[in-house]
Amino acid sequence: MTRGADTSASEIFARLYPEIIAAGGLAEALTAAFRSAGFRDLRAVAREDGAADVDLGWGRFFVHLAAEERWFIFDLWWRGVRLLGGTTPDLLTVVELAGARSSGATLRELTNGWPCADSDEIAAAVDRADPALAVALHWRELRAARWAEPIRPLVEAAHADPRLRKLRPWTSHLSLHFSRCVGYPFTHDLPAIHPQERGYLVWDGDRLLGSADGPEEAVALVTAVLPADCAPAVLGTADDLD
């Protein structure tokens, strides 16, 4: 980027976010705004990518700045799940949302009180500490996803198994994995099914368990080696389980 382009970008940023420039950065501006609003226990920490991170106790609140228009982009994460997100041009709205969550506000209260914030059913299930419902909703999404059409028979066969149905499904390049936790990062200690041009391969880490011609046979290879205590999936992440 040329020197002129740098100057232009800086001028645009200063025009869009004068209070951020005056405070010395996004984290500093947020921390000062928390104090002014009465949330003196909240403090924003600067991230390397320019965003700010706020530990709310009831989740972590991340705030980014849009580059070409004035938008504060926010996301609330808890137990490895994105509970809420949205955009607003108003710094005070960000402060109020974070402050309300730190005081124990539910997702329903946040989305009802601040229309700029959006959430979904899976997030609500996690917020209510209902991992079984969150897992069921993930299965519902996967079974209905149009992009998953090539592995539809495999997904249906796995969902039909009562033990796999209690695990959190996730996919990577159309391979089907199962996690012992609802949140990301997921666990990688259970076998995964990898569709081939013809049939399936079932891998347990770096160990090939076998090949299968049909989805039911592939699922059977997985369930044959599942630990007795691997289901149902719990709230949290793989790091929490470790």
Give the pLDDT confidence score for residue 136 in this predicted structure.
98
**49 φ, ψ (degrees, to nearest 5):** -85, 5
Secondary structure element (H or E) that encloses residue 158, with its range? helix 152-160
Give the pLDDT confidence score for residue 1 in this predicted structure.
36
Model pLDDT for residues 119-158, shown as the tens digit of each residue? 999 999 999 999 999 999 999 999 999 999 999 999 999 9
Q: How confident is the model at residue 7 (pLDDT cuts 50, 70, 90)?
A: low
Give the pLDDT confidence score for residue 223 in this predicted structure.
97
Give the pLDDT confidence score for residue 203 in this predicted structure.
98
Give the pLDDT confidence score for residue 188 in this predicted structure.
95
Residue with the two structure tokens 């990577």 = 172
Count other C-beta atoms under 10 Å from residue 197's C-beta: 4
SS3 103: coil
Q: How confident is the model at residue 10 (pLDDT cuts 50, 70, 90)?
A: confident
What CA–CA distance (Å, rounded) separates 179 from 200? 19
CB 104 within 8 A of CB 58: yes
The percent of residues above 70 in pLDDT, for the chain, comes to 97
State the sign of the Cα–Cα–Cα–Cα dihedral 240, 43, 87, 99. positive
Average pLDDT (85-96) is: 98
Average pLDDT (161-178) is: 97
Model pLDDT for residues 55-87, shown as the tens digit of each residue? 999 899 999 999 999 999 999 999 999 999 999
- The amino acid occupying position 69 is E
Model pLDDT for residues 217-237, shown as the tens digit of each residue? 999 999 999 999 998 999 999
Give the pLDDT confidence score for residue 4 in this predicted structure.
45
What CA–CA distance (Å, rounded) separates 187 from 56? 25
Is residue 118 over pLDDT 50?
yes
